[in-house]
Amino acid sequence: MIALNDYLIVSAVLFSLGLLGLMIHRRSIIHLLMSIELLLLAVNTNFIAFSYYFHSIAGQVFVFFILGVAAVEAAIGLAILLVLFRAKHDVDVDSLTSLKG
């Protein structure tokens, strides 16, 4: 019998991995975007596990909206990344200092 805690533990480990990826790949934007996808995946797994064990479908509706917003966010982030690469030929976060006064 799989309890709710097991799903929550898996999702906590997944969230920690995404957080770790966000911290150690601070320099490349594409790794940052992928780590953000991992964080959202952990949150969505939490929502679906709660929705299953508490017999409420509102969690799944919420996951639906999170998926839509995350897809829009990834699309716009990648479009910005392409524009940035064409302008500067580099995607390093530390080299984006053109707004510094």
Partner 1 sequence: MFAGTLIASATMTIMSRDPVRSALFLVLSFFAAAALWILLTAEFLGLVLILVYVGAVMTLFLFVIMTSHRVDLTIKPSFSRYWPYALAIVLLFMLLALSVLSSYRTPSQLIRANVDNTAALGSILYTHYVYPFEIMGLLLLVGIIAAISLNPRVIRDRKQQDPSQQICVKPSDRIRLIKMKPSIRS
Give the footprint of partner 1 on this chain (CB under 8 A).
Answer: 1-10, 12-21, 23-28, 30-31, 33-35, 37-38, 41, 44-45, 48-49, 51-53, 55, 57-58, 60-61, 63-65, 67-69, 71-72, 74-76, 78-83, 85-86, 90-91
Shortest CB 100 distance to partner 1, Å: 20
DSSP-derived 3-state class of residue 28:
strand
Nearer to partner 1, 27 or 96 (CB): 27
Cβ(25)–Cβ(31) under 8 Å?
yes
Nearer to partner 1, 56 or 101 (CB): 56
DSSP-derived 3-state class of residue 19:
helix
Nearer to partner 1, 9 or 101 (CB): 9
Which ranges of the chain does DSSP label H, i.e. alpha helix?
4-24, 29-53, 58-88
